[in-house]
Structure 1
Amino acid sequence: MLRRIPQDHINKQELQDQLRNHSFGFKGEQSLDYFYRYLPKNDIYFLHGIRILQDDYFFQMDTLLITPNFLTILEIKYLAGHLYFEDRFSQLIRTYENKREAFPNPIEQVKRQSYHLSQILKMYKFDFIPIESLVVMTHPSAIIEASPTYKEAFEKVIKSHGLQQKFHDLSYKHTKSIFNQKQIKKLSKLLTKFSIPYDTDVCELFNINKNELLSGVLCPNCTYSVMKYKWGTWSCLMCQESSKTAHIEALQDYAYLISDKITNRECKQFLHLDSSDQTNHLLRSLNLPISGSTKSRVYHIDKLLQDK
């Protein structure tokens, strides 16, 4: 989206902020992978990014650890600065670069996730199993404190390196085996089956008219420079960069932002091609699924996202 909107677009800063926040979240989850290796692999089944509709409400678990004795939901946060968990108004207060701001309390977030998960277990008649919840702060330089009276914060909030010890403590707390391997696999398959990935029209989400998006095959080296197609090669007139496959990324952008289907005419217009024959050749070379008759043929470019 950022490379497809004009440089002076009114929503550009909001987009940059959202991208930064999502990047931080992704980085936090990636950084925790290192510490998973210290958990007993034979006793844990990992599920990541499960998002389920329950009671007309989508709840999402960053990571769910399934063991025979208990379940553990991990809410993962990648926040730098001084982090203070305050119980009177149930908020997380961050002080960073001389700025003080409040965030929704992740302890309450993960408790709601526990509730919804317990309802699903009841609905599908699983034996009762304890559900634990933890908030894992993954930024290595974060300083964490809490109100002296906030007992839950001291129990549920940990840093990444504390995951191994916390899991050991929970294993010592829950010694009774409830799920066998068959039940663990059944639960993991059920949750995976009902998980619905977050997929929204980002133009609508950020109130951006699709006609405002920059079309063309954008040069990977020159910001906002559009490449020209000639004799089977995309060339940039600004930096002389050339590519045989630059149109693929442009079509991926189209699939993400506009539609996962495209006609020859729409493709010709979006890629700034000179002829329908050029367009037809490029689309056919991608081996995309096709629907419709010759005159109304539609190419399903969502396949390009799967291959990405």
Structure 2
Amino acid sequence: MIIKHRSRPIIIKKLESLLKRLPLLDEKREEIRNALRKCLSGYRGEQSLDYYYRYLTSNNLRFLHGIRILHKDYFFQIDTLIITPNFLLIIECKNIAGHLYFESPYDSMIRSLNNQREAFDNPVEQVKRQSYHLMSILNDLKCPSVPIESLVVMTNSSTITEFSPAYKEARSKVIKSSGLVPKIEVLSNKHPGTILSIKEIKRIIKHLLKQHLPEDPDVCRKFYIDPDSLLKGVFCPECDVQFLKRHQRSWYCFTCRKVYKNAHESALLDYALLISMTITNKDCKEFLNLPSTSQGYHILKSLNLPFTGNRKSRIYHLDNLVKKTTSKEDVSP
């Protein structure tokens, strides 16, 4: 049973908007592209595991995807948490290509690819830290002492993993996607006794969901970009780079010669993701390159956005616009 569905991380949409709004010659473009590739790769790796989850035969599994909780002044995030009456399982997904070598708990994971070597945080130690935080939370809830298992799943089919003979823990915890189902069966046999009742499982889930805080980074600040330097205007949905002209309550593209009625919604979404979740008539006029604030007023009013203040000092809240757009990208297994 899927309790918390996986959703597309908001940072992906923010980075896409940032690349669209960044001047073409900005020196930060390649850095942002690389960050976007990394986020997309991780997300696709997590998605790929849905294929294997369907082969799990037990009906007593509860799935929580993408839990992020502040605990002891530290945010810890779990890609997938599987809750069973017998044990809990933390799954950390890694979509990393190349040859991966695990030396010891005290060393980084070394990736060799294209004649280059690169060090990564050791994911085995990462899931151990996640287990520690999760166990502490369960202890604070005064839950029964339930075993917490953890796995690192390499979702890239071309990945080769190698372990030093002494690092047996990594060998037992790091698996490929195809080994997930048999590994969970091994863990089920390892923990045959029921520890958590349905009521206790529901209490744990309710508490974790209540503590969940989605990551919502300020990408302009993250990459040291002045929001005033971003490109303003409404992009053509067809040409993608051509700016539209406001004409008779619609938008006209001089390149593809098409008329778009609601093209401003995408631009306002960029504004919300990159600059602010609130906007005034003046802000709208300037960001959409409109000739007057009255046009900004009519556009914002037409969206039925919640607002505070009177007409001259009115502030519109863009939260619903963001939710409406990003919810379409959520994944429902």
Is the pair's TM-score, using the shorter chain for normalization, greater than 0.5? yes
CA distance in structure 2 between the partners assigned to 1:36 and 1:70 by the alignment: 17
Which of 285, 289, 294 is equivalent to 1:277? 294
Identical-pair percentage: 53
> For the residues of structure 2 that align with 1:148 and 1:249, how far apart are their CA atoms?
54
SS in 2 for 1:43: coil
Aligned ranges 1:24-43 → 2 under 5 Å: 24-43=41-60
Counterpart code for 1:190: H
1:8, distance to aligned residue in structure 2 (A):
1.3
How many angstroms apart in 1 are the aligned matches of 2:200 and 2:75? 24
Q: 229-238 or 103-112: which moved more?
A: 229-238
Match of 2:242 in 1: 225
Q: Deviations over 1:198-257 (max 9, x none)?
A: 112111111101111111111234354211110122122233243111110100000000
1:89 shift after superposition: 4.3
Q: Which amino acid aligns with 1:273?
A: L
Equivalence for 1:208: 225
Moved over 4 A (4+): none
Please give the per-residue CA displacement for 1:61-114, whole angstroms capped at 9, x wherever unaligned. 111000000001001101112222221742211122232211110000000000
| Alignment deviations for residues 9-29 of structure 1 (CA, whole Å, 9 cap, x no partner) | 121111111100000000001
Q: Which of 122, 128, 131 in structure 2 is aligned with 1:105?
A: 122
Distance in structure 2 (CA, Å) of the matches to 1:209 and 1:278: 26
Give the drift of 1:180. 0.9
Bigger mean CA offset, 298-307 vs 33-42? 33-42
Question: What's the CA shift string for 1:15-48, capped at 9, x where partnerless?
Answer: 1111000000000011011111111351110011
Q: How does 1:114-129 map to 2 (within 5 A)?
A: 114-129=131-146
1:145-164 correspondence runs (5 A): 145-164=162-181
* Cα-Cα RMSD: 1.3
Q: Given that residues 110 and 119 in structure 2 are in contact (C-alpha distance below 8 angstroms), is that contact kept between their aligned partners in structure 1?
A: yes
Residue pairs, 1:1-308, within 5 angstroms: 1-87=18-104, 89-222=106-239, 224-308=241-325
TM-score normalized by structure 2?
A: 0.89
User: In the alignment, which residue of structure 1 is the partner of 2:7?
Assistant: none
TM-score between the two structures when normalised by the length of structure 1: 0.96
Moved more, 97-106 or 122-131: 97-106
SS of 1:74's equivalent in the other structure is strand
How far, CA to CA, are the matches of 1:231 and 1:253 in structure 2? 23
Query: Secondary structure in 1 aligned to 2:26?
Result: coil
Q: Per chain length, whose mean CA-contact separation is higher, i.e. which structure has more relative contact order (CA < 8 Å, sep 6+)?
A: 2
Q: Size of the alignment, in residue pairs?
A: 308
Ranges in structure 1 where 5+ consecutive residues have no aligned partner: none
* One-letter amino acid of the counterpart of residue 214, structure 1: L
1: distance between equivalents of 2:150 and 2:273?
A: 34
Contact residue 284 and residue 293 of structure 2 kept, 8 A: no
The answer on whether the counterparts of 2:281 and 2:294 sit within 8 Å (CA) in structure 1 is no
Change (3 A) 1:88 1:33: closer
